[in-house]
Amino acid sequence: MTWLDKLERRFGFLGIPGLTRILVGFTALVFALAWLAPGIDSVVAVSPNHKNKKKIWRLFTYMFIL
């Protein structure tokens, strides 16, 4: 039994089925929004000017920016 099998047996309940498809879908959605509305990237991007404005969601949405 490999270490990966042991980890899956121990922490398998934490897995999210279809996570790759969900991430690809969100990335495609943000790409489409950025293409249709060019100003949307400033809403989800992380910049030094926004670090003190308590917009924590920017840390998660940044990964969808191209």
**Whether the predicted pLDDT of 4 surpasses 80:** yes
Handedness of CA 51, 55, 56, 61 (dihedral sign): negative
Tens-digit pLDDT profile for residues 53-64: 666 666 666 666
pTM comes to: 0.55
Q: What pLDDT was estimated at residue 55?
A: 64
Tens-digit pLDDT profile for residues 6-36: 988 999 888 888 988 988 898 888 788 878 8
Contact 44, 64 (CB under 8 A): yes
The CA distances from residue 51 to 34, 39, 40, 55, 65, in Å, are 22, 19, 18, 7, 17
Q: Tell the residue number behind the tokens 């670090």, with chain if given.
A: 51
Amino acid at 61: T
